[in-house]
Amino acid sequence: MKKNDTAAVKITDIGVNGEGIGKVDGYTLFIKDAVIGDTVEAKVMKAKKNYGYARLMKVLSPSPDRVTPRCEFARKCGGCQIQEMSYGRQLAFKEQKVRGNLERIGGFSKELLDRVMEPVLGMEEPFGYRNKAQFPFGTDKQGNPVTGFYAGRTHDIIPNTDCALGAPVNREILETILGFMKKYQIPSYDEKTGNGLIRHVLIRCGSATGEIMVCLVVNGEEIPHADALIDRLAEMPGMTSITLSPNTRRTNVIMGDSFKVLWGQGYITDYIGNIKYQISPLSFYQVNPVQTEKLYSLAMEYADLKGGETVWDLYCGIGTISLFLAQKAGKVYGVEIIPQAIDDARKNAEINGIENAEFFVGKAEEVLPRWYRENEGAEAGLRGEGSRTRADVIVVDPPRKGCDEALLDTIVKMQPEKVVYVSCDPATLARDLKVLCGKGYELEKVRAVDMFPMTVHVETVVLMSRKDK
């Protein structure tokens, strides 16, 4: 096919960015806004040798799983790629996405996956789940400040203060800030010129505590007439922390490197299960508290701790999984590259009275191999309770790129009885599992967890065990 050709296309799959995928005489087309089961009329906008990108012109025959989106901006906004697909079909798609990657990239057989895969964990209410959102600010054609979300693959802001995935309080906060900016002529930041002041606003909500944080990210050091804004925000029920984060760099990075408190305190608190966490504007904390508790409980179930185990938690963030595991482990070691996150992890251990968790700053792929080398010579071959190179369980929760080869090699050398792998990318998960299974481990359990309804993203928890245990 070539550019501007039109064709009727049956959609059979969803791509990594949420596009519908279909074929015309063997030629693959990626079609935004089409869902699995649709037959659509599409116009080719960009044609490559074996595939192309097309625009949805008309839905000729809607999928039985096509639904009316709750948000009027669902098609334009880059945040919800599959809101027009029924939630049940979303869950089936995500489970199949994990399975497909394990088969294609990992080389695992259908028979094995039929045995080890457990049903996907979904949500009863898949809207309003986000406890954190970062809203960019801009200016409309009439010169008024606006905020919302970027349109897909652009930095064009779609004005919307009432995201269907966010906390209801977001709307009141954002409209208060917009009203303040208009009244006092406070300009939004302009990415093209580098001028203007208000860049982003970060809002966090403690789902268990009701505490609210507002962090204003600004192209400067202060906000004129800030007291007027603070007075309005501070009146809102639950408001706990109002902060400012300077970011004067010409960059797409949202947050500055630091923040200062304008009112209240520099953090909010929240609970996952019975573990209390302090969360600052710069802290990493899962955005879906309902599913986070399910995710961590599943990791705990797979680890099956009895009380005396040594556990390593790699890519530990602010210690969320580490502290969960420490409730039942003998000793937990956490590793994270971000110093601020490790400071938060240590503080969180302290406020929960947890004394059997120790945290290291650094890259997991450097810290664990170095720690193993330094202790291996002194205690070569030791596998008893006194061995410092011993690990009963290793938990990894890496970024999308997955685990470094040196880290996987060290995991194999340390010979933990179990590896619990928490993944946000099924492709790199499959790649890493293939390596571990080629070096003495086998799949025991796999379960997808829907942390991000209405999007194509999915988390997966995997249990692996050593074959010779």
Mean pLDDT, residues 200-207 taken together:
97
Give the active site residue among 77, 205, 424, 437: 424
Render pLDDT for 166-198 as a digit per residue (tens, 0 to 9).
999 999 999 999 999 999 999 999 999 999 999
Please, are residues 149 and 163 in contact by the beta-carbon 8 Å criterion? yes
SS3 assignment, position 113: helix
Q: Is 397 annotated as a binding residue?
A: yes
Q: Which of 458, 432, 307 is nearest to 364 (CA)?
A: 432
pLDDT band (50, 70, 90) for residue 374: confident
Asked if pLDDT for residue 358 goes beyond 60, the answer is yes
Ranges 24-33, 132-141, 212-221, 407-416: which has the least confidence: 407-416
CA angle, 79 as apex, 395 and 422 as ends, to 5°? 10
pLDDT of the residue at 389? 55
Mean pLDDT, residues 74-103 taken together:
94
pLDDT of the residue at 468? 80
User: In whole angstroms, what is the distance from residue 374 CA to residue 150 CA?
Assistant: 48
CA 16, distance to chain mean position in Å, is 15
Mean pLDDT, residues 191-220 taken together:
97
Mean pLDDT over each residue of the chain, to the nearest integer: 93
pLDDT of the residue at 348? 95
Q: Is 84 annotated as a binding residue?
A: no
pTM of the model: 0.91
User: In whole angstroms, what is the distance from residue 362 CA to residue 201 CA?
Assistant: 29
Contacts of 125 (CB under 8 A, 6+ apart): none
Pairing verdict, β 357-361 and 132-139: unpaired
Asked if pLDDT for residue 275 goes beyond 90, the answer is yes
Please, are residues 19 and 31 in contact by the beta-carbon 8 Å criterion? yes
Crossing angle of the two packed helices 426-437 and 405-414, in degrees rounded to 10? 40
Asked if pLDDT for residue 256 goes beyond 70, the answer is yes
Q: Which of 286, 290, 338, 285 is nearest to 315 (CA)?
A: 338
pLDDT of the residue at 369? 83
Asked if pLDDT for residue 377 goes beyond 60, the answer is no
Mean pLDDT, residues 51-61 taken together:
97
Mean pLDDT, residues 355-364 taken together:
93
Render pLDDT for 301-331 as a digit per residue (tens, 0 to 9).
999 999 999 999 999 989 999 999 999 999 9
Query: What HEC string does 259-294 produce?
Result: CEEEEECCCEEEEECCEEEEECCCCCCCCCHHHHHH
Q: Is 286 annotated as a binding residue?
A: yes
pLDDT band (50, 70, 90) for residue 376: low
Asked if pLDDT for residue 80 goes beyond 70, the answer is yes
pLDDT over 90 percentage in the chain: 85
pLDDT band (50, 70, 90) for residue 365: confident
Contacts of 1 (CB under 8 A, 6+ apart): 7, 24, 27, 29, 44, 47, 52
The answer to whether 424 is a known catalytic residue is yes
Asked if pLDDT for residue 435 goes beyond 60, the answer is yes
CA angle, 256 as apex, 251 and 258 as ends, to 5°? 160
Mean pLDDT, residues 215-234 taken together:
98
- Strand blocks (E) in 101-238: 117-121, 132-139, 145-150, 157-159, 198-205, 212-218
Asked if pLDDT for residue 351 goes beyond 60, the answer is yes
Contacts of 103 (CB under 8 A, 6+ apart): 109, 110, 113
Q: Is 366 annotated as a binding residue?
A: no
Mean pLDDT, residues 215-240 taken together:
98
Q: Which of 154-158, 310-314, 385-389 has the highest mean pLDDT?
A: 310-314
User: In whole angstroms, what is the distance from residue 140 CA to residue 185 CA?
Assistant: 14
Asked if pLDDT for residue 388 goes beyond 70, the answer is no
Ranges 176-185, 211-220, 306-315, 383-392: which has the least confidence: 383-392
pLDDT of the residue at 199? 98
Asked if pLDDT for residue 469 goes beyond 80, the answer is no
Check residues 35 and 381 and name the one with the higher pLDDT. 35
pLDDT band (50, 70, 90) for residue 92: very high
